[in-house]
Amino acid sequence: MGTHVIVQKRGHGGPAYKTPSHRFISPAKYPQYKENMLGEITGFVQDPSKDVVLAELLFSDGRKGYLIAAEGMKAGDVIHLGGKTPLATGNVCTLETIPEGISVFNVEAHTGDGGKFARTSGAFAMVVSHDEDTGAAGILLASKKVMSLKQGCRATIGVASGGGRLEKPMKKAGIGKKNRESRNKRWPRKLGTSMSAYDHPHGGRSFGKSSCVSRNAPPGQKVGHIASRRTGRRRGKMEGQEGEN
């Protein structure tokens, strides 16, 4: 007797496929404030949903919160948020106050969204330009892409903590399994063609069978290339290459 394929199991839901958000500590977004605010670092925590270390802060207005820690931070440090903030590691500034060539992380995509870019361990972006005509700032990401953002977007000075994490190998499959279980990631990913026919539509002696499936197929069959226009690598001449040697 066969079992339901992974698509059906995940779609049905259940404890095995539910993100354990009750274990997560904080989204580590910037707090809302109207003027310059101070925050004292009271400690550091490791959030299971992130590879980067979070700094636990006590703000000057009495609130507590978490922000992504920068390399070089330590307990007892005081960071500045907003206003005419000095350019020191861990301080949160708007892009208009950050000169070109400064490394930043946790950069907002839109003013007030709390941070979207360069949030992983060891990540950073660089301020490369300020356009006075359009009021935009150019941010160079690790992918070499330059983003044009509003000057009012916030960013943290420095480099996100946890750099060099990928230099240490997993060594054991169990470590990788636990690492992905904490975020509810599918692992290990097994090929459907390596399964039995009763476990997967591609299982058994299914070689030579099309991997395309209709968009209206039921969940048990909706695996592979869903409603694809074409598959495989392109062959022959591409458009615009006619007449080229």
Return the sign of the alpha-carbon dihedral for residues 79, 85, 87, 92.
positive
Are residues 31 and 50 both part of a single domain? Answer: yes
Residue 153 lies in a domain: yes
Task: Give pLDDT, residue 238.
Answer: 62
Q: Domain holding 55: CATH number?
A: 2.30.30.30
pTM: 0.78
Are residues 158 and 43 both part of a single domain? Answer: yes
- Whether the pLDDT of residue 245 is over 50: the answer is no
DSSP 13-66: --GGGS--GGG-----PPPP-SS-EEEEEEEEEE-TT-SSEEEEEEETTS-EEE
Which residues pair with residue 104 across a beta bridge? 125, 157
Are residues 177 and 156 both part of a single domain? Answer: no
| Residue where a domain terminates, one of 165, 188, 208 | 165
**What's 96's DSSP letter?**
G
Structure tokens at 11: 């779609």
- CA 115/CA 118 separation, integer angstroms: 9
Domain range enclosing 175: 170-226
Residue 98 lies in a domain: yes
- Whether the pLDDT of residue 244 is over 60: the answer is no
| Residue where a domain terminates, one of 165, 183, 218 | 165
Are residues 194 and 148 both part of a single domain? Answer: no
Nearest to 125 by CA among 154, 82, 88: 154
Residue 83 lies in a domain: no
Residue 187 lies in a domain: yes
Q: Domain holding 220: CATH number?
A: 4.10.950.10
Q: Which of 11-15, 145-149, 185-189, 196-200 has the highest mean pLDDT?
A: 145-149
Structure tokens at 233: 């690598």
Task: Give pLDDT, residue 206.
Answer: 65
Comparing 110 with 239, which gets the higher pLDDT? 110
pLDDT band at 107 (very low <50, low <70, confident <90, very high): very high
pLDDT tens per residue, range 191-232: 888 888 877 888 887 677 788 999 999 877 888 899 999 888
Are residues 219 and 174 both part of a single domain? Answer: yes
In the chain, the number of structural domains is 2
Q: Do 93 and 127 contact (CB within 8 A), yes or no?
A: no
Are residues 143 and 187 both part of a single domain? Answer: no
Are residues 120 and 181 both part of a single domain? Answer: no
Give long-range contacts, CB 8 A cutoff, 24+ apart: 165-171.
165/51, 165/121, 165/122
Are residues 45 and 145 both part of a single domain? Answer: yes
Are residues 156 and 115 both part of a single domain? Answer: yes
Are residues 141 and 199 both part of a single domain? Answer: no
Residue 228 carries which side chain, given as an amino acid letter? S
- Whether the pLDDT of residue 90 is over 80: the answer is yes
